[in-house]
A and B are shown apart, each in its own frame.
Chain A
């Protein structure tokens, strides 16, 4: 009913953006994790967003994370025969994560999050004023 749906919509968007921030944090944290085989190497994750249609009114549409996609970029091969994790050829594998890209993505996610906080606050103020109308 009325403007109360804004809270659900902004809330869902903040949730989706925080999932995005989480995946970015995970990608950045694992940028240097080494593994002994190309199959076990960490793969960069990105969430895929989708609109969430609400039944009662199609005016407000929230966001949900449809799925978390894993990057299929090839891992970086490093020749480190002294590394205890190295395979028979003396190679170790690190994920192909571009930290600059991840940082840019992080900025975008945090700006979107802030935007939704702003929408939330403004709507709240408007509703509070409406409730207090005539006092």
Chain B
């Protein structure tokens, strides 16, 4: 059995990156809770994860020559960032519902910490394996 150090962390590496991105998005939503015409956004986690697990976004271009320019892998350009559908739109065109965002933010923070715990566990087990201790 061989251990490849490249995918020790498995899904958790991609998950952590997505959770961090989601923290950023939800933070922006809460920051713009009073901005007229701001539209709340969120990540469609399932499709984002699927995309991350497939390795590369389907839109990525192949580079076969040193002069080639690859397709966009900019996370901001990815299509799993979606606008939120508000339950009760407000008159000023803002679609942030503070309570919904707060709940999503809290949940995301916990999920982020869970991912961190998984990563930490993986790291510890690798270190144990290297040391050869029980």
In the complex, the answer to whether B116 meets A6 with C-beta atoms within 8 Å is no
In the complex, the answer to whether B35 meets A50 with C-beta atoms within 8 Å is yes
Binds B, one of A24-32, A72-80, A82-90, A112-120: A112-120
In the complex, the answer to whether A59 meets B76 with C-beta atoms within 8 Å is yes
Quote the shortest CB–CB distance from A52 to chain B (angstroms): 9
Chain B residues whose C-beta falls within 8 Å of the C-beta of A17 in the assembled complex: 34
Q: Of the candidates B26, B31, B38, which one forms a contact with A12 in the assembled complex, judged by CB atoms under 8 Å apart?
A: B31
> Does B79 lie at the interface of the complex (its beta carbon under 8 Å from any beta carbon of A)?
no
In the complex, the answer to whether A129 meets B116 with C-beta atoms within 8 Å is yes
Knowing A51-B38, A122-B109, A133-B116, say if A115 contacts B30 (CB, 8 Å): yes
Quote the shortest CB–CB distance from B77 to chain A (angstroms): 8
Complex CA–CA separation, A122 to B102 (angstroms): 11
Q: Hey, what's the 0/1 contact readout for B104-132 against A, CB within 8 Å counting as 1? A: 01100100110010011001100000000
Chain A residues whose C-beta falls within 8 Å of the C-beta of B112 in the assembled complex: 126
Binds B, one of A36-44, A60-68, A96-104: A60-68
Quote the shortest CB–CB distance from A90 to chain B (angstroms): 42
Contact residues on B (Cβ < 8 Å of other chain), bracket: 20 to 34
Quote the shortest CB–CB distance from A9 to chain B (angstroms): 5
Q: Of the candidates A50, A115, A122, which one forms a contact with B33 in the assembled complex, judged by CB atoms under 8 Å apart?
A: A115
In the complex, the answer to whether A63 meets B31 with C-beta atoms within 8 Å is yes
Complex CA–CA separation, A62 to B123 (angstroms): 35
Give the contacts of B68-97 with A (CB-CB under 8 A). 74-76, 81
Complex CA–CA separation, A118 to B31 (angstroms): 11
Q: Of the candidates A20, A59, A122, A125, which one forms a contact with B24 in the assembled complex, judged by CB atoms under 8 Å apart?
A: A59
Q: Of the candidates B34, B75, B116, B119, which one forms a contact with A108 in the assembled complex, judged by CB atoms under 8 Å apart?
A: B34
Which residue of chain A lies nearest to B101 when distances are taken between CB atoms in the complex? A115
Which residue of chain A lies nearest to B112 when distances are taken between CB atoms in the complex? A126
Knowing A3-B24, A5-B24, say if A122 contacts B105 (CB, 8 Å): yes
Chain A residues whose C-beta falls within 8 Å of the C-beta of B23 in the assembled complex: 3, 6, 123, 126
In the complex, the answer to whether A126 meets B109 with C-beta atoms within 8 Å is yes
In the complex, the answer to whether A60 meets B24 with C-beta atoms within 8 Å is yes
In the complex, the answer to whether B109 meets A112 with C-beta atoms within 8 Å is no
Complex CA–CA separation, A68 to B58 (angstroms): 46
> Does B98 lie at the interface of the complex (its beta carbon under 8 Å from any beta carbon of A)?
yes
Knowing A6-B23, A112-B33, A115-B33, say if A61 contacts B116 (CB, 8 Å): no
Q: Of the candidates B21, B31, B74, B81, which one forms a contact with A13 in the assembled complex, judged by CB atoms under 8 Å apart?
A: B31
Q: Which 5 A-B pairs have the closest CB atoms?
A: A13-B31, A6-B27, A49-B35, A3-B20, A58-B76
